[in-house]
Amino acid sequence: MKIGVCGTGMVGKSIATKLVALGHDVKMGARSATNEKAAEWAGAVSGDSSQGTFADAADHGEVLFLCVKGEHALAVLESVGADRLSGSVLVDLTNPLDFSNGMPPTLSVCNDDSLGERIQAAYSGARVVKTLNTLNADLMVDPGALADGDHSLFICGDDTAAKATVMTILTEGFGWKDVIDLGGIAQARGLEMWLPLWIRLWGTLGSPSFNLKIVR
């Protein structure tokens, strides 16, 4: 499948590298078409890897992974434009973390709204699927590295077919065994409000290599 990945940080690289390893044709998008981190990534992985602008990544992909910092999410999508996003499966991994008052961060939106909902509201033609925002980048694409994959992931979004496409990547591709479908994109509030506890657990446990399992 042709897939675009917006973001050159730990999350973007982790997702893009895994997708290439799975045989997908991946274009990593950045602000500039000649971004050095994207060039380094595209040169280092063996497989169908290329780089371009955020808009190029969107043009390239049937599915577009949004892996930028939450504070940049809407600006990045604005540079892509509503036309390119119309009809596309947009996988939203962002968290609205606000570090402006130091650690631990607060959320720039929460409680009666979420970044996932804001993205869907701003681009009504996009088929937004929120997932993978609840854990560390390494574990996102390699859940089996922790407790043989015996832990949980969540997914939500208004478009059932888009969710099914992403679910296949998560389960058959990344190896997730327990992905809980919470419903529509408004459920993103719950997923993003998990972050304040995640961040505190990171501090307490001294490592980001943990996840929650929903025991039922």
Min dist CB 164 to its own copies, Å, is 17
Specify which residues 97 forms β-bridges with: 107
Q: Say how many Å lie between the first and final Cα of the chain, rounded.
A: 35
Q: Is 201 in the site for its own copies (CB under 8 A)?
A: yes
Min dist CB 186 to its own copies, Å, is 9
Instruction: Specify the stretch interacting with its own copies by CB under 8 A; choose among 82-90, 144-152, 161-169, 171-179.
Output: 144-152
Using DSSP bridges, classify how beta strands 127-131 and 89-92 pair: parallel, antiparallel or unpaired. Answer: parallel
Min dist CB 79 to its own copies, Å, is 29
Q: Which of 75, 36, 32, 83 is nearest to 59 (CA)?
A: 83
Instruction: Specify the stretch interacting with its own copies by CB under 8 A; choose among 31-39, 48-56, 161-169, 180-188.
Output: 180-188
Strand arrangement of the beta sheet that strand 152-157 belongs to: 49-53, 25-30, 2-6, 63-66, 89-92, 127-131, 152-157, 178-183
Tokens of 138: 């390494």
Q: Is 184 in the site for its own copies (CB under 8 A)?
A: no
Q: Is 112 in the site for its own copies (CB under 8 A)?
A: yes
Write out the residues near its own copies by the rule CB under 8 A: 101, 106-107, 110-112, 146-147, 150-151, 154, 180-183, 187, 189-191, 193-194, 196-201, 203-205, 207, 209-216
